[in-house]
Amino acid sequence: MLFLLEGGSFMSKSEDTKQLILDTAKREFLEKGYSAASVRTIAKKAGLTTGAIFRYYADKAALFEALVSEAADGLVNQFKAAQEAHFELIPQERTAESRDLSTEYLRHFVNYVYDRFDEFKLVLCGAEGTKYANYIHDLVELDVERTETYYRLLREKGKIKGSISHELHHMITSAYFTAVFETVVHDMPREQAMGYVEEIAVFFNSGWEGLLKLI
């Protein structure tokens, strides 16, 4: 059976049920977090049986991942692309543009997150017990690994004189990501969040320049 949607498109009964499950699950996860939410309650609020939900999603984890994976994994992939863009500056002798490029990508990332605010609210505040529970930590690890390679290449080319230990690098990067994502944790409006991250970028960029002694 097909249902007419706004705009003239159609959704099958199966797709309609799947969307109902996702919408209900999102509200439940946002309210209670993954650990405290239950498939039984989600089914009851959706007017379905638990069996109907398991017909579409193998378990609670699969349901949560269906809600957040596209947004969360998409940001990771975009972050990797941004890192590669920095590496491309090296052979072009344009590494002086790295600071501005980082800030430009930060603006893009924040807008990406705010376009998918509920999904990132779940990842940051309600993912305990899922593979996304350490999302910020995983981003930090990714950033530190690639950035240390980037700094090594710059040092070999005589572009930086300073150095930083792996431990301190991890601590500073963790503080940076945590600060940026606090905008979501505290439900800041997009405009306010964009203003704050601009100031965060100035603060951390100045710190990096002081530590690394860019030439």
Q: Residues 12-55: pLDDT tens digits? A: 678 899 999 999 999 999 999 999 999 999 999 999 999 999 99
Using the predicted structure, report yes or no on whether residue 209 has a pLDDT greater than 90.
Answer: no
Please write the tens of the pLDDT for every residue from 60-86.
Answer: 999 999 999 999 999 999 999 999 999
Would you list the domain boundaries of the chain?
7-54, 68-212
What whole-number percentage of the chain has pLDDT above 70? 94
Q: Which residue has the higher pLDDT, 74 or 94?
A: 74
Contacts of 59 (CB under 8 A, 6+ apart): 39
Q: Please state, in angstroms and rounded to a whole number, the distance separating the CA atoms of residues 181 and 75.
A: 13
| Contact criterion met (CB below 8 Å) for 63 and 21 | yes
pTM: 0.88
Give me the pLDDT at residue 143, please.
94
Pull the structure tokens for residue 173. 């990067």
Thinking of the domain 7-54, which architecture would CATH place it in?
Orthogonal Bundle (1.10)
